[in-house]
Amino acid sequence: MTTLEVLGTCHHDCPDSCGWVATSVDGVLTSVKGNKKHPFSKGELCPKVNKFVGRVNHENRLLTPLIRTGVKGSGEFREATWDEALELVVSEFSRVKDTYGGEAILPWWSAGTQGLIQNSGTSNALFALLGSSTQYGSVCGAASGFGMATVYGHGLGTDPLQCEHSDQIILWGTNTRLTNRHLWPTIAKAQKDGAKVIVVDPIRTITADKADQHIQPLPGTDVAMLLAIINVLIADDLVDHDYVSAHALGFEELAAHVVNSTPEWAAPLCGVDAETIRDLARSIGTIPATMIRGLIGVEHHFSGPTMYRLSAMIPVLTGSHKTLGGGFARSVGAWAEVDDVDGGVVAGLASVVAPNAGQRRSLRQPALGESLTQLADPIHALFIWNGNPVLSMPDSAAVRRGLEREDLFTVVSEHFMTDTARYADVIFPAAMETEMVDVMPAWGHLWLGWNEPATDPLGEAVPNTELFRRLAKAFGFDQPELHLSDMDLIKMAVGDHVDIEAMRRDGYVRVTNYPENYLPYENGGFHTPSGKAELVAESFGAVGVSHLPEWIPVAEGPGSPQMDRHPLFLQTPKKATRFLNTSYSDLPAHADLETKPHIELDLADAEVRGLTEGDTARVFNDRASLTLPVAITDRLRPGVVSVPWGYVDSAYGDATGSVNDLTNAADTEFGAGSNYGDTLVQVEAI
Ligand SMILES: Nc1nc2c(c(=O)[nH]1)N[C@H]1C(S)=C(S)[C@@H](COP(=O)(O)OP(=O)(O)OC[C@H]3O[C@@H](n4cnc5c(=O)[nH]c(N)nc54)[C@H](O)[C@@H]3O)O[C@H]1N2
Ligand SMILES: Nc1nc2c(c(=O)[nH]1)N[C@H]1C(S)=C(S)[C@@H](COP(=O)(O)OP(=O)(O)OC[C@H]3O[C@@H](n4cnc5c(=O)[nH]c(N)nc54)[C@H](O)[C@@H]3O)O[C@H]1N2
Ligand code: SF4
Ligand SMILES: [Mo]
């Protein structure tokens, strides 16, 4: 009996990037447990990944290439050899390229694994040779990162673990106890030591349950509240003028811009009373160790990037960047990416990134439905990996309509027969995290994680890197950069900034450009051309960012004409503790322990519709209609309803469709994000 114990890191699209110890016996994975020495996760995983062995060894795993035999979406396939499947992909992709041009091919990916080499790897270089369309933007992080960058020049935020030193922590649209669970102990400790914890969220989440104060705005209206906070900071002279004059551009203009944006102006727009806004502003302005922490939920609105732009301005105005426990903690992933800061890691495969990327048609990632159904020059070949867009993209009814097109050839690389894979013409089986080598660049903390494989991939599954090597070979591309080994790719990605051996030995290594207790903007040093924080858009004005941050009522939100027919705001948050996005919701060991899909309504909204707990209701707008059981809740304010997201299609019942069939796929104000949260629906009894 041969037992192997290796150090690894969770690959999921989750801020915690936990360290684990994976064990195999005679080549079979037997255990995945938290690595007690990991500085962030400290030996704990989560209710999803505690059952990772069951996912890896699950009987439904895809272990050979598959070729479609039934109609698209039926899930009927036959097994094929790698050679046969590769040959079919090459001949179809070549036919599409020859008939319609390379841009009729679209590579589409998400962050199923966030690994440095397994996320998108050498795919850029491969698709560049095909002259394909490219992807820009993202449903996750693009809008908030861009919003922050308009002020700081970069998405670099404060280390959230520094909230250990905070006197006030504002969790602004993030459900920490669910989505970022390993940060919570630090927040809870700060709270015990006297810090005030404030949650700003349209839903009273499990995180809000533990807060000292819960502020419940209407979804997508934070911009009004933030403009009012800035108004109060300036009107009450709670501004750190020394910091602002030394390190910010455009203060006078901003001050003039917000002069009428009083709390009384904002209150009816955001649904929070003026006194609450004023008190919040005053506490932000008088408590230097105030940390503002946001993640992704709040960016899922048209106004998401501007909301982040304004949040990023606040610690500049108050000077809280100078105080340990202050600042603005969004994603810290970017600290692993900067190469202009001494000791930074060059995350990414710069030399295998396509040189002609800028010259090819680029399509917004969240707009997949539109890309597949509305382009004048249609996509005819689609390659999907690391994602499940039929469940995860906004307006996914349009994604499904696109995938049903007979003149579209679709390839999917997957672990399981997902609701997306069912529409593929060819499926390639993908290796799982304990079966491949990688480095994880965390976005919730400052340690890069090593991932050593504990076993070979099961069956004929391969890591994404190997999939792209095989494709390159099948296309006859012999460029050496397309055939680098995984270790060579890792070395190329981290350069000589990281001690790979130390990372491999310990399972993690800290990003060296952010030492403990470091205050990144203590002395300014923003990443803008001037080195100053931009309170007016100097650098980004040319790319669609308004000179000053504006309150813009959203097309599908408060006050919009559509409210006549669809008067309720639909929110679709992550809620199940055992799902990670859409992953695990197909496994009974997870799904059977969670509530089935349902719609949550406030009692007032239910009563006017004659609905009571357990009734069945129709939830609809012009995009789609779903039938769901009703749950009455006091966690929402009247006018806001919620259908938690993550469930597989079949969990909703017999009809095809899931909650993202209802959501809004329009673009964000800038930053190429998505608008899930700006969705109006009507609910009626059946
Ligand atoms: N258990 C679990 N953990 C996860 C995930 C998971 O699926 N399950 N997914 C992972 C991923 S990919 C991500 S991106 C992160 C996301 O982490 P979070 O951003 O923390 O999670 P979300 O549920 O997307 O959104 C957080 C909160 O934002 C609120 N929100 C929505 N709109 C607004 C608004 O207009 N204003 C304000 N103030 N708040 C608003 C929502 O009500 C929600 O409670 O979680 C990661 N962790
Ligand atoms: N309504 C609503 N929709 C949302 C959100 C929401 O809050 N509400 N959140 C949005 C957010 S923040 C995100 S990040 C997205 C997430 O959406 P997705 O990225 O589509 O969802 P995931 O479940 O993270 O994973 C995607 C798939 O990648 C596969 N995968 C994992 N590892 C590998 C691998 O190594 N190789 C290959 N080939 N495949 C792999 C998994 O099996 C899984 O099926 O959803 C978005 N959609
Ligand atoms: S999903 Fe998140 S919390 Fe769970 S093990 Fe992975 S990184 Fe940790
Ligand atoms: Mo995400």
- Tens digit of pLDDT for each residue in 272-301? 999 999 999 999 999 999 999 999 999 999
pLDDT for 347: 41
- 293 CA → ligand 1 middle, Å: 12
Low-confidence ranges of the chain (pLDDT < 50): 339-353
How far, in Å, CA of 340 to CA of 352, rounded?
A: 20
Length of the chain: 686
Ligand with the closest atom to the CA of 215 = 1
Q: Partners of 134 in the beta sheet? A: 362
Q: What angle do CA 217, 221, 222 make, to 5 degrees?
A: 75
Do the beta carbons of residue 40 and residue 29 sit within 8 Å?
no
Please state the domain extents for the chain: 66-138+339-445+455-498, 158-330+529-543, 561-685
* Gap between the Cα atoms of 139 and 674, Å rounded: 5
Report how far residue 147's alpha carbon sits from residue 533's, in angstroms, rounded to the nearest whole number: 13
Nearest to 318 by CA among 222, 251, 397: 251
- CB 427, CB 445: distance < 8 Å: no
pLDDT at 355: 55
Ligand 3 atom index nearest CA of 14:
2
Q: CATH topology of 66-138+339-445+455-498 equal to that of 158-330+529-543?
A: no
Whether residue 108 has its Cβ less than 6 Å from ligand 2: no
Asked if CATH classification 2.40.40.20 holds for the domain at 561-685, the reply, yes or no, is: yes
Residue 202: CB within 6 Å of ligand 1?
Answer: yes
Helices 82-100, 464-475: crossing angle, 10 deg rounding: 60
Contact 167, 194 (CB under 8 A): yes
With the most atoms of ligand 3 within 8 angstroms of its CB, the residue from 36, 44, 46 to mutate is 46
* Number of the ligand 2 atom closest to the C-alpha atom of 464: 36
Q: Is 495 helix (H, G, I), strand (E, B) or coil?
A: coil
For the CA of 16, the nearest ligand: 3
Q: Find the ligand nearest to 177 CA.
A: 1
Q: Which pLDDT belongs to residue 346?
A: 38
Residues with CB under 5 A from ligand 4 (ion): 140
| Contact in structure between 686 and 629 (CB atoms under 8 Å) | no
Which ligand gives the minimal distance to the CA of 388? 2
- What distance in angstroms lies between residue 427's CA and the mean position of ligand 3's atoms? 27
Q: Which two tokens stand for residue 121?
A: 């790897």
- Nearest CA, atom 6, ligand 3: 10
What's the CA dihedral at 210, 215, 217, 222 to 10 degrees?
Answer: -100
> What fold is seen in the domain 158-330+529-543?
Dimethylsulfoxide Reductase; domain 2 (3.40.228)
Structural tokens at position 556: 């599908």
Find out whether the beta carbon of 676 lies less than 6 Å from any atom of ligand 1.
Answer: no
Order of strands across the sheet that contains 438-441: 438-441, 447-451, 508-510
Question: Using an 8 Å Cβ cutoff, are 205 and 199 in contact?
Answer: yes
Residue whose CB lies within 8 A of the most ligand 2 atoms, among 16, 388, 585, for a mutation test: 388
- Please work out whether the CB of residue 465 comes within 6 Å of at least one atom of ligand 2: no
**Check: CATH 3.40.50.300 for 66-138+339-445+455-498?**
no
Cα of 439 from ligand 2 centre, angstroms? 19
